[in-house]
Structure 1
């Protein structure tokens, strides 16, 4: 019985593992590693994952957590960093307070992608959590939340 259960769970485990694959620096294309080092020379404690055909680096600079998406050609496509509430633009904070009064701010991130700056906010209350993306003017975006 145990053996059958383990064998039944193996495909699910491999499916999950293949979605986000942790990789070591030696498995990384040099173009990708170099792109991160050039763009973020102060990056420390870099951890890499492969997401589809993109590489995601999670790292710290000072005490701030960052992440970057890099394509195989070595282009940094997107970058995000943790921020605190005081770093949210006033229109974003006002929009969140207006539209989600019953929620508390949780994790906040500033995202730079395609020349645009967006703000990701995680909101929580007893009914559950929400994830929203705003532009700097406080407009709710349809852009997917980058976890």
Structure 2
């Protein structure tokens, strides 16, 4: 039962992030406590873009040449963070499952996401089908969203 609730919570969060009604905002409109938490965690971030999603603040940024994302509460607490990873870093069990389920598709991009210590992977597929997939860190399929 706990696993099911966790999966539902992760799906809700990821789904919310993927289809959020986020609105671009200027850095000056982000609460100081949120900016301070972000700057402390990512002092070398560049190309920083903020969005408001519900009551939370989402930030997209680069560390080196790698795209990252993080979500903060208005109090500056981290809700989730993630980064793009090379396709070759995708756990073998997930890659094998994708090849088995979607033999006519290719993996376009992979995002590693940490939500309250729970790791998930968001995988973009090109081909048949064009879709976005979510998996748990231990290779369990969460959901598919057609692109």
TM-score by length of 1: 0.79
- Distance (whole Å) between structure 2 residues aligned to residue 81 and residue 136 of structure 1: 14
Output one character per residue of 1:11-58: Cα deviation in whole Å (capped at 9) or x when no partner.
xxxxxxxx3221111111011101111122221121101011111100
Residue 130 of structure 1 is matched in structure 2 by 131
Structure number, greater radius of gyration? 1
* Structure 2 spans left out of the alignment, 5+ residues: 1-20
Runs of 5+ consecutive residues of structure 1 not aligned to the other structure: 1-18
Structure 1 residue aligned with 2:93: 91
User: Which residue of 2 is the match for residue 114 of structure 1?
Assistant: 116
**Aligned CA-pair RMSD:** 1.6
Question: For residue 38 of structure 1, what is the aligned residue in structure 2?
Answer: 40
Partner of 1:82: 84
Structure 1 residue aligned with 2:58: 56
Q: Equivalents in 2 of 1:22, 1:100: separation in Å?
A: 35
Confirm or deny: 8 A CA contact 1:22 1:49 kept in the other structure.
yes
SS in 2 for 1:37: helix
Shift of residue 81, structure 1, vs aligned partner: 0.7
Distance 2:23 2:142 in 1: 29
Aligned residues, how many? Answer: 125
Cα separation, 2, equivalents of 1:42 and 1:116: 25
Aligned structure 1 segments of 4 or more residues deviating by more than 6 angstroms: none
* Structure 1 Cα separation of the partners of residues 135 and 64 of structure 2: 26
CA shift, 1:76, in A, is 0.9
- Conserved 8 A contact 2:87-2:109: no
